Chain A
Amino acid sequence: MKDIYRGSLVRLANDSPEIMAKAFVKWDRDTEQHRLADSDPAMLFSEKKIKDFIEKRAGKNPQAFPFSIRTLADDKLIGGVSLWVNSWTHADTWVGISIGEREYWGKGYGTDAMRLIVQYGFIELNLRRVSLGLHAYNERALKSYEKVGFKMEGRMRGEGLRDGVRFDSLWMGILREEWLAQQEAK
């Protein structure tokens, strides 16, 4: 049985709501990061509010599997990644990732974390597919997800409006069989 929390650059971890809330307050100041990761308006929440939100969500929702991302080299907290199991009966889950520390963008850290969480979904939760959405302008994420094995499944026209510009969202999915075949090939 391998250690499924450990990748080659990062490991999946679980940090206290206090630590995560502090980190989110810092990352929320970077609106470029927010606009890459989220669709809702950028906001500046208090540390207390974020902590309450994390704690409420943790207790309430057995279908959410949140993790923090830490570098293997120096154990630095650089972001978060979560699965939200859409439906256990259909065995399909959403995944969402954000790398808060911008020095770690474009260096493979996000891809490594995504590989770990997808593996978790397939071999620990025994799900059949993993789904995600991204903004069409997030080219870095698109390349990363394709590397992990996600396939394009559609485009929602004009799902977002920012700076007076309409943009689309892209939707991708990876099936269990596809993922297993990839692992075989390795």
Chain B
Amino acid sequence: MKDIFKGNLVRLSAMDSEEVGKAFSSLGRDSELMRLMDTGPTRLHSAKATTKFLEKIIEDDSPANHFFSIRALDDNRLLGDINIDVINNWGSRDSFVGIGIYKREDWGKGYGTEAMKLILQFGFIELNLRRITLTVFEYNPRAIRSYEKCGFQVEGRMRGRIIKDNKRWDVLLMGILRDEWKELNQ
């Protein structure tokens, strides 16, 4: 049985709602990060509100929702978070993933790609899913490249789904199938 929570650069760990709440409230000031992660208008949330929101998710403890903090292997620093949610009561064995690396100094270093690889492994060999789906904004080319490296393919495009800076942007739908993933990881 391998240790599926550890990669080479990062490891997945439990979320501490207070720690993440604190991190998020200072991150919220980085509006670029917020605009990359969220479809709604960016807002400034207090640490307390974020903590409460996370605590509720953790309390629910649903077997269909799995969320992790991403930590650097060398110094255990909190880098971001990643979650996978099984869709529709497991019937079709499909899921949505979402990831965020918090600080811009940590972008473009491979942390996100590795965390995504770990979550794909988790989804396919621990949750035994058949496919994994995600959505990404067309104005986030760094993320799109990272997901393609992990094996995701663009499956669709929701045209003009977001308006930012008075312009319409598409949201891409990407997916990866179990068999494709197995082949890539032979």
Instruction: Decide if A and B touch, CB cutoff 8 A.
Output: yes
Number of A-B contacts (CB under 8 A): 17
Contact surface of A with B, Cβ cutoff 8 Å: 62, 88-91, 124-126
Nearest B residue to A63 via CB reads B63
Contact at A89–B89, with CB atoms within 8 Å? no
Q: Give the residue of A62, A124, A126 whose beta carbon is less than 8 angstroms from that of B93.
A: A126
**Is B128 among interface residues, defined by CB-CB distance under 8 A?**
yes
Please report whether the interface of chain A is mostly helix, strand, loop or mixed according to DSSP.
loop
9 smallest beta-carbon distances between A and B, as pairs: A88-B90, A89-B128, A89-B127, A126-B91, A62-B89, A125-B91, A88-B63, A89-B126, A91-B128
Q: What CA separation (Å) do A124 and B90 show in the bound complex?
A: 11
Q: What CA separation (Å) do A90 and B63 show in the bound complex?
A: 12
Contact surface of B with A, Cβ cutoff 8 Å: 63-64, 86, 89-93, 126-128
Given the complex, which residues of B lie within 8 Å of A91, measured CB to CB? 128
Please report whether the interface of chain B is mostly helix, strand, loop or mixed according to DSSP.
loop
With both chains docked as a complex, state the minimum distance between the C-beta of B15 and any C-beta of chain A, in angstroms.
21
Q: What CA separation (Å) do A181 and B50 show in the bound complex?
A: 52
Nearest B residue to A128 via CB reads B128
With both chains docked as a complex, state the minimum distance between the C-beta of B1 and any C-beta of chain A, in angstroms.
14
Q: What CA separation (Å) do A89 and B127 show in the bound complex?
A: 5
Given the complex, which residues of A lie within 8 Å of B93, measured CB to CB? 126
Q: What CA separation (Å) do A89 and B63 show in the bound complex?
A: 9
Q: What CA separation (Å) do A132 and B91 show in the bound complex?
A: 22
Given the complex, which residues of A lie within 8 Å of B64, measured CB to CB? 88
Q: What CA separation (Å) do A88 and B91 show in the bound complex?
A: 9
Q: What CA separation (Å) do A150 and B63 show in the bound complex?
A: 29
Q: What CA separation (Å) do A61 and B17 show in the bound complex?
A: 26
With both chains docked as a complex, state the minimum distance between the C-beta of A86 and any C-beta of chain B, in angstroms.
11
